[in-house]
Structure formats: C-alpha cells, structure tokens
Structure 1
Amino acid sequence: MQLETYISDLLYRYDCVIVPQFGAFLTHRVSAKVHETTHSFYPPKKALSFNEQLQTNDGLLANYMAEVEKIPYQVAVEKIAKQVKAIKSYLVEGKTIALNNIGDLILNSEGKINFEPSLHINYLTDAFGLSQFTSGDITREVYKEKVEKIEKVIPLTITPETRKSRPYLRYAAIALIALTIGGFAASKLYVDQIENQNQLAQEEANEQLDAKIQEATFIIDSPIPAATLTVEKPTGNYHIVAGAFRVEANSEKKIQQLRDQGFKAREIGVNRYGLHEVVYSSHIDRNEALKALRTIKRTHNREAWLLVKAVD
C-alpha cells in the first residue's frame, strides 16, 4: 500500500498527518531516559498515536501524493478516498491492517479503531543514528582505594633544602610581578586618553551634523504636498472558505490561484488545529455572503462553505 509510505515520510517532518475521512496519526516528543535497574539508555524519540476524530482534509497528504506521483491534486484526493474505503472494509471484516513503519489498526468490540504503534522506528530526526545501549556499573570506590594506597607508600613532600637552594628565583618573581603591574597601569592610562579624545571628536561631529540637518530643513521653499492613499481593507465576519492548509506555502499558492481567477482571496489566520484558512472573500452582510456562496458552489467549488468569524 503506497499510502503508508507517504504517511511515514510526512511523520518525519510534521506532528500531525490527517488521512481524510479516516483519522490522524499524531506524534509527540519523548525525552531520553535511563532505566535504573538495567542501566539501559534510551534516546529521545517521537511517540506515535492515532486520533479517529480528526478527519477533515487539510491538503497535506494529498498535496504530497500529487507532488510525488506528478498527478493533479483532485486525482490524489480520489486515490486516497479509494484506499480509505478499502481499509475500512477490511477492518469491518475483523482483519488487522498492518501499516509498515507505522503500526497495526484493528476494530474493537465497540466499533472504534485501536492502534498499536510500531516501536522499531524513530521519527525524531534530531536523534538520527542514536540507539539504545546498556552501560556497566562505574567502580569509583575501587580506584579511590588504589590511589590512597599509593599515597601511603610514596608520599609527595617538598624538602627545606629545595626551598633554600635557589633564593634568587623569589626575587626574580617579585620583580616580574612589579613590572607587569606597572605595564598594565601605563597601558590603561594611554587607552583612557585615546577614548577621551575620540569621545570629544564624536561629539563635535554630531553637532556639525545636527547643524547641517537643520539648515537643509529650513531652506525648502516648495515642499511637496502630502499624498493621501485610500486602501480598501477586506472587512466583515462572513467568510467563504476555500480550504485550510497545514503548510503555509500551499495556502499562499491557493490564494494566488484564486486571485488570478478574479476572487478577492486572502488568508484569515490559523485555526485551532494549526491550519491556515484561505477564503474566497469576506462580507459584512449575511445575505450577500450566502448569495456569493451559492454562486461559488454552483460554478467553482462544491466544497466551499460559510464561516462566521471575527477577524482583525
């Protein structure tokens, strides 16, 4: 089944992949962990789950299929619907649907879909190449005892003869420290003088620049009159929805297509599912919006619908 391959590809890049009229495969990040008993280290991963309630087509899966197979978007939507129909029929017959690299689907006694995710694949790209491993115990106390035994046998001391044998080194060190401190003091004084001179020069340059700006401001004899532009802003709480897209680039592409066809299309924001909503137009009057919706459903898109929403 090619559908499972497309879903698996998208799970690496997105946290939600919706299969229209079937459900959504969701991922959430799980941090790395250590098993205290077995001393096993597990890398971070994306845990996979299934939500049967999310069935509205967001265009992600269909757009990806259309791009890979070089087919029109609507053809991709029809192919997905056909495969979903086949999956549902197998589930009703009591069969288990095994989706490679994703997991197993089966109907329970209540007619709901149970999902068992596959555990052998990690969709978190940040953890690529990381695998589970087990570490042995760290024996810190053993090495500590060995070091203590060595110190008892070979003590580390400094004899008085060593200290008195080279008294001139002490005076050389004191002289070196004194020279270093004197050099730092002289260097700091020189740097401070340079910074003060730079500050005075900068202030003088700023005063000259302000004078030039004021002079240039007051010698304008014929100022250009201010221009007033009137920009028409789409308003209204009645919106005719063309689609909702998870990828913003797809929504921008849809807007351009609709504008080329004469519609006042725009994006009205992101809904609670994280989808970018694209509308044909927005209207203040409800009757006007319903009239426009009937025209669009009859001549352009039977799936268009009316959304009542306040948009800034």
Structure 2
Amino acid sequence: MQLETYISDLLYRYECVIIPQFGAFLTQAVSAKVHESTNAFYPPKKVLSFNEQLKQNDGLLAKYIADVEKIPYETAVVKLSKKTKALKSYLAEGETLTFKNIGDLVLTNEGKITFTPSYHLNYLTDAFGLSQFVSPSISREVYKEEVEAIEKVVPLTITPEKRKSKPYLKYAAIALIALTIGSFTASNYYVNQIEQHNLLAQEEANKAIENKVQEATFIIDNPLPAVTLNVTKQTGNFHIVAGAFRFEENCDKKLNQLKGLGYSARKIGENRYGLHQVIYSSYETRAEAQKALYDIRTNENKDAWLLVKKLD
C-alpha cells in the first residue's frame, strides 16, 4: 500500500488527514514571508504538523484508498488497520518513520511521537509554480544629512555681483519673447491645418469605401457543401494539472507538447497569482482522475497534481 502517496494527495485538498488509531497530519496556510537578514522571499504555503490525539476514523483516507485501488471500503479499512499496526511496531523498535514529501515521525523516551515536517512540496495549490528567491539588498544614500554636515563646517556665503546696466539686453529679451510667441502661434495654426486636412481625407475615403460596398454584388455559382464537425467537449470537475507558467507562450508550448503526446490537453486560464495553467485532461469521477494521475506521475511527470474545480 502506497500510504504516503495517498496522504500526500489528500493534503492538497484537505486540512486534516487521519490515519485511524495512529494520528493525523494537519495543514495550516501561512502567508508569504521575507527574511530580513538574507533578503529571501518565500511564497505562501501550507505548514504541516502531526497530532497523535486525533485517531478516530473519519472515513476519508479509507474511502480514498478504496476509490484508487478499486476495492470495497471494508477491505480498505482492514488493509489500513494492518498498516497502522506495522507503523506502531516500527516506532516501538526505535525506528524513524519517513513519509516521503511529508516528514519524519520518531517515538520519544516519554512515549510521545515527534514530527519533523518536510519542505520538498508546497501543498497550497494556489501557490503552484511559485518558488523561493533572493533579492539583493538596496543601498540608500541620504544626501541631505551629508549637506547639512558640510554646511556646519564650511558655511556658504553668496555675494551678489555688481554689473553695469546694459539697456540693449532688455530690448533683445523683448524681441526674443516676441519671436517665440509668433513661432508658437504659427506652429499651432499649421498643426490645426494638417488635422483638418486629415479629417477631410478620412471622410472622403470612408464615403468611397461605402459606395464600393453598396455597388458590390457577390454571386456564388457553385457553393461548397456544408461540413459538420463533431467536437467532443471535455466535462468533469477533476483535472490533472501539467504545469503553471508565468508567460503564456511557455504555456502554449506545453499545450502543444501534450497534444503531440495524444492528451486532450487544454488551457484553463490564470490562477490567483497570474500563472497560466494547462491540464492533461478532465474527468467526471475522482476514481478516473486518480488512476490517470498515477499513470502520469509514473510515466510522464512526477510533479503533476489533481485539481478539483468547476470550470466555466
């Protein structure tokens, strides 16, 4: 039984996954964070924890195992019970239980189970495709404080310079202003004339086009026979996601690649982070989708995941 795989699948969609008579894995969504000293940016995610007090069978894990393995629910409960006994015996012998992409469980000397989560997967589907990155620190220079410090040491004194009066400069300035105003007025007049000309030319062109359209007669002597295309529309609320891309051209490349492999792939739009998503296919039932997901993870893409959503 691939217990860790089943639990991992359920953690994407549920906040609590209970292993009957053993304990429960819990998830809690946390916001994106920035580390002040390293300038590292961390995307939003689900933080994993373990509570050994939650042991009552809620039927979620057993029903999921029954759907995926196509066995009766009662048989799944029996298999799960045997697996739980084996896990308890391993812990009692001092072994560390490692659940892939989930974390490690260890039994302490006091008889309590401690959990160390794994950070290889982000179970928050809204953050799919987002990764950690480090931004260089920004150096800011405060010039005002430096100038004030200089002025305290070396005060600045401005002495107006005496100049002889030159009347002809006054007349030259007046002439320059008059020329500038005249040039500006002429420029505006020229621009207005060009705009009026363009409007008239456009109106004449539109009238000519309308006359040509009214005079045109379209006669088809041998019309082509009608062609009926049968297009199968994908339905279902269970979708296997192949990837999410920040640039739509990368999404289109992935779409063409999947269609070349024979999948009924399509784009389903952007998620809340602006990433373009493409799926392998959609399915009516969870069992069909889980079987296809298992085959794709085994043979094609280990990072594919199941999205449960009603698409428009």
Using the size of structure 2 for normalisation, the TM-score is 0.47
Using the size of structure 1 for normalisation, the TM-score is 0.47
